[in-house]
Amino acid sequence: MFRGWLPQENYQTGDGTKNAAAVFAQNGFITLAPDFLDYGGSDPRDPDEITGRLESYPIALTLLKSAENLKLVCASEVCPPMSNVPASTAKRGEQPPTSVFLYGHSNGGHLALAALEISKKPIPTVLWAPVSKPWPFSTLFFSDETDDKGKTQRKMLAKFEENYDVFKYSIDNYFDQITAPIQLHQGTQDPAVPYAWSDSFYKTLKEKDKDITYFKYPGNNHDLAQSWNLAITRSLTFFQKHLAE
């Protein structure tokens, strides 16, 4: 589970994902969510603005790979039937997970999309108000929230562009590599991620014949607070559907 941006002050592990994680856990799912560097007592991220941001991508991919290689301990003498588990290992002890899913909110949705593109794996994915626009626009859009109104970011990006092609780092250039089914959720009164972004993202993926379902919530904010129960129920049902396949 990949959360969106949060201020470091008073941050605690689980912030941004714990409410959704609780629902998934109550329904038999194991949830994992990284703090990301500089948060929750994690190691500090690189002081360079661009390098620090790019460090989030390998963190997301590492978590995904770790989830695929988890060994689950069954407490009973004979574990319940699990798909993709050889009969010889279906005894008490360690077992791999039957399925892996992704959940991303806001910038966490951006990271989830990058993980799908890089891995090219058909991992069922739920996105809530994802940042789906090209980089570095997706970063500069929020720069007015920084103390210096984005001055440092713009300087760093200008330096970065002297040596690198930014378009090679932008998720919208790799949508063709997505093979996963996606469920997209977006509020129409979202002050952080304009719903037009999700409209455009949905249209683009449909034009590429990708498996995507889109739910729009009139009057809802960035966290879909007014329709949270409906959105989380749809997300859970989506995961359960693909768990059964």
Q: Tell me, what's the pLDDT at 94?
A: 56
Partner residues linked to 123 by β-bridges: none
Round to whole Å and give the CA distance between 231 and 212: 15
Listed residue (169, 165, 164) closest to 138, CA to CA? 169
Walk along the chain (245 residues) and give the pLDDT tens digit of each residue.
Answer: 999 888 888 888 888 899 999 999 999 999 998 888 777 778 888 888 778 778 888 888 988 888 887 776 655 554 554 444 444 444 445 555 668 999 999 999 999 999 999 999 999 999 999 999 988 777 777 777 777 887 888 888 888 889 989 889 899 999 999 999 999 999 999 999 999 999 999 999 999 999 999 999 999 999 999 999 999 999 999 999 998 67
Task: For residue 19, give the DSSP letter.
Answer: H
**Furthest-apart CA pair in the chain: how many Å?**
61
How far is Cα of residue 159 from the mean position of the Cα atoms in its chain? Answer: 28
User: What domains are defined for the chain?
Assistant: 18-41+101-244 (3.40.50.1820)
How many C-beta neighbours within 10 Å does residue 88 have?
6
**pTM of the predicted structure, to 2 decimals:** 0.86
Q: Tell me, what's the pLDDT at 232?
A: 98
HSE (side-chain half, CA atoms, 13 Å) at 182: 31
Q: Tell me, what's the pLDDT at 76?
A: 52
Q: Is 191 helix (H, G, I), strand (E, B) or coil?
A: coil
Q: Tell me, what's the pLDDT at 63?
A: 87
Listed residue (239, 197, 192, 232) closest to 17, CA to CA? 232
